[in-house]
Structure 1
Amino acid sequence: MRIGIVNPYSWDVPGGVGFHIRDLALKLRSRGHDVRVLSPSSSSGLPEWVTSAGSSVSVPFNGSVANISINPAAFARTRRWLADGDFDVVHVHEPVVPSVSMAATILSGAPLVATFHAALTRSLSRSIASAPMRPYMERIAVRIAVSSEARRTLIEHHGGDAVIIPNGVDTASFRGAEPIEPWRARDGAPVVVFLGRLDEPRKGLPVFADAIPRVLEAIPGARFLIAGRGEAEAIRSGLARFGDSVQFLGGISDPEKESLLAGASAYVAPQTGGESF
């Protein structure tokens, strides 16, 4: 099959939806399908199966920052990509996000599959987009929600329903990962890992940091490794008194993430909201 997949968010900025799309495309390609992805990007080093819809702008959204393309040029590129692709099916992610996924939902003549990722309570942007997008949403043949929270958000904001298919995870590289020696648990002292954007409150770094003194009181030898992009200077300063028990690793590569988790005693994901999984 010729399959087109549309990513509303910039390929250049690491994020869950982008990783989901990348892994899905690679898996489908490995099964013999001709898969093409359209995504905002300013990179000159994209895989040959990814087409840039142009640069993106950063927009605050749902406790994070969405990097999306909202301009006439991106709309025109979407039209051209659809025409050139002659797809058997087009799979759009977040079709009501005002980016190339919305454009593809409006413009595509191929059967549409849509995946909904977001978990929201109230959203002015969703409310505004809901009515004008309703006729196009009705053209979607299959709706997928990645969780019960994503399904609830779809139903409450846009009506209709969706089948729940959780985010897939390719575990092969994690199973074969070797711990990096300075990061591994040793001498019976546990290593506790936080992995996420440090400057995004919903990822829960303050919750993780607040627990560190209590854990160290109970387990004096415990170590805490904090990996992710962002500064979080106030939290860094507050944890400095614990010395080598707390280490900030900064942004790390995918292979480093795999090695970090391979050597950890526990991975803590204290998200406080706005996540759909």
Structure 2
Amino acid sequence: MTRPLRIGIVCPYSFDAPGGVQFHIRDLAEELMERGHSVDVLAPADESTPVPDYVTSAGKAVPVRFNGSVARLTFGPRANAKVRRWLDAGQFDVLHLHEPMTPSLSMLALWAATCPVVCTFHTSLVRSRALQFANPLARSSLEKIDARIAVSEDARRTLIDHLGGDAVVIPNGVYVEKFADAKPAARWQGTPERPTVAFLGRLDEPRKGLPVLTGAVPTILARYPGARILVAGRGDAGHQQALADLGENASAVEFLGGLSDEDKRSMLASVDLYVAPQTGGESFGIVLVEAMSAGAGVVASDLGAFRRVLDDGAAGGLFATGDSEALATSVLDALDHPEQTEERRAGATQFVQQFDWSSVTDRIVAVYETVLATSEAGRDVGSRRTLLSRLTQRARIKDDA
């Protein structure tokens, strides 16, 4: 199938405070449009929030605590009416819903959908109260899903455990070349005596692991007194707590605040090491791929998702999750043995190519085309299950090749 498609993408989370899912949707939409497809995105956003031209705002969102962070969601009769108007106006060939079990726009769109539906699941949790709550609400609509995508094996396992069924695994995407071509900045570059170690994440979300990193700072400074720890991200409460935790070592940590996309790429291209001390709730690890693409050495907590993204340790160092001393040991090992870090960097340069948006979008479009071919052939629900089985098996064969 080579014809341009009309694709509707629904984001459950607000663009007021964008995170991984919003950035995934933004990049996918732009990659699809670059290939000639027509794309409209529906997402929560306040009237004052600037959004791209292809995004339709569904109105103000309400903050809800979810998965160790705060998700901004939109639900209710007014949101439902906006979803239905958007669907009627769009006349989409395929509807791509993200996190359809989250009580927000994607769930409303699933209820109202009349065209073929593809759903992407991002969440990775051992036990999800949100999914348990949403299951009865969405159970009657699950059969409307023509194909399921999970961004990782962890997200796939969460889906299977909470909802049953299966999904094809297609990872999050990164514009690898943009990070590889990023210009280093002298203000973030280190030296053998004054190495730079970077962290990027929301400072007031405990699961992002900033306290694990600050707990490792004294040990790192004992070996490298001139080391600079660069902390990028927003969150005043987390910033103040980190300063209190650091005490006399606070001068070694530079808080950069939120970074633009360009500055983020430049920082990752400049530092000696990128550290990911997250303690849980991570289904993929997009920032690890970004750091590897930019050429940074990487040290990360030993979460299942991070282990897979780092090729089981071949592309970056791993340490015991939540253990500040283990983090410090891994950082010092990477700094003490630059030849080993360089070997990992070289391997990572090749490994990250599978996550480039060109490859990821190819796989997503293949799902769209298979779903549409099945729909146009007038297949029933049973055939949808067979379709999902074929898609999943095909992806596994490709991954094993």
The letter for the 2-side match of 1:36 is D
C-alpha separation between the residues in 2 aligned to 1:267 and 1:69?
35
C-alpha separation between the residues in 1 aligned to 2:116 and 2:90?
13
Q: Which of residues 207, 211, 228 is equivalent to 2:212?
A: 207
Q: Which of residues 145, 166, 180 is equivalent to 1:140?
A: 145
- Please give the TM-score of this superposition, normalised by the length of structure 1: 0.96
Residue of structure 1 in register with 2:175 after alignment: 170
Preserved CA contact (<8 Å) 1:37 1:51: yes
The answer as to 2:240 corresponding to 1:236 is no
Superposition pairs for residues 7-22 of structure 1, below 5 Å?
7-22=11-26
Residue of structure 2 in register with 1:182 after alignment: 187
Preserved CA contact (<8 Å) 1:6 1:100: yes
Q: CA deviation at 1:256?
A: 1.1
Q: Which structure has the highest strand share of the two?
A: 1
C-alpha separation between the residues in 1 aligned to 2:150 and 2:46?
29
Residue of structure 2 in register with 1:100 after alignment: 105
Query: Residue 257 of structure 1 aligns to a residue in which SS?
Result: helix
C-alpha separation between the residues in 1 aligned to 2:51 and 2:245?
40
| 1:123-171 deviations in Å (ceiling 9; x for gaps) | 2332122133122111111100011111111011111100111101112
C-alpha separation between the residues in 2 aligned to 1:65 and 1:56?
11
Residue of structure 2 in register with 1:24 after alignment: 28
Q: CA RMSD in A?
A: 1.3
Q: Which of residues 265, 270, 275 is equivalent to 2:272?
A: 265
Residues 126-135 or 265-274, more deviating: 126-135
Q: Which of residues 158, 169, 172 is equivalent to 1:153?
A: 158
Query: Residue 268 of structure 1 aligns to a residue in which SS?
Result: strand
- Paired-residue identity, %: 55
Residue of structure 1 in register with 2:197 after alignment: 192
Residues 154-163 or 175-184, more deviating: 175-184
The letter for the 2-side match of 1:49 is Y
Q: CA deviation at 1:190?
A: 1.4
Residue of structure 2 in register with 1:248 after alignment: 255
Preserved CA contact (<8 Å) 2:199 2:232: yes
C-alpha separation between the residues in 2 aligned to 1:243 and 1:156?
43
- Residues 62 and 180 (structure 1), Cα distance of their counterparts in 2 relative to 1, 3 Å cut: same
Q: CA deviation at 1:243?
A: 5.0
C-alpha separation between the residues in 2 aligned to 1:36 and 1:93?
14
Q: Which structure has the highest helix share of the two?
A: 2
- Residues 206 and 243 (structure 1), Cα distance of their counterparts in 2 relative to 1, 3 Å cut: closer
- Return structure 1 stretches of 4+ with deviation > 6 angstroms: none
The letter for the 1-side match of 2:125 is L
| 1:198-244 deviations in Å (ceiling 9; x for gaps) | 00000000111111111111222221101100022121123242254
| 1:157-199 deviations in Å (ceiling 9; x for gaps) | 1111001111011123212222222211135521100000000
The letter for the 2-side match of 1:224 is I
The letter for the 1-side match of 2:24 is H
| 1:11-48 deviations in Å (ceiling 9; x for gaps) | 12120000000000000000000000000011453222
Gaps of at least 5 residues in structure 1 are none
C-alpha separation between the residues in 1 aligned to 2:249 and 2:21?
35
| 1:67-95 deviations in Å (ceiling 9; x for gaps) | 00012111100000001000000000000
Preserved CA contact (<8 Å) 2:61 2:73: yes
Query: Residue 138 of structure 1 aligns to a residue in which SS?
Result: helix
Preserved CA contact (<8 Å) 2:183 2:269: yes
Q: CA deviation at 1:246?
A: 1.4
Query: Residue 97 of structure 2 aligns to a residue in which SS?
Result: strand
The letter for the 2-side match of 1:272 is T
The answer as to 2:57 corresponding to 1:52 is yes
Residue of structure 2 in register with 1:91 after alignment: 96
Query: Residue 225 of structure 1 aligns to a residue in which SS?
Result: strand
Query: Residue 106 of structure 2 aligns to a residue in which SS?
Result: helix
Residue of structure 2 in register with 1:5 after alignment: 9
Preserved CA contact (<8 Å) 1:12 1:43: no
- Between Structure 1 and Structure 2, how many residues are aligned? 277
Q: CA deviation at 1:249?
A: 1.0
The letter for the 1-side match of 2:235 is G
C-alpha separation between the residues in 2 aligned to 1:128 and 1:27?
34
The answer as to 2:283 corresponding to 1:276 is yes
Query: Residue 146 of structure 2 aligns to a residue in which SS?
Result: strand
C-alpha separation between the residues in 2 aligned to 1:179 and 1:128?
46
C-alpha separation between the residues in 2 aligned to 1:121 and 1:78?
31
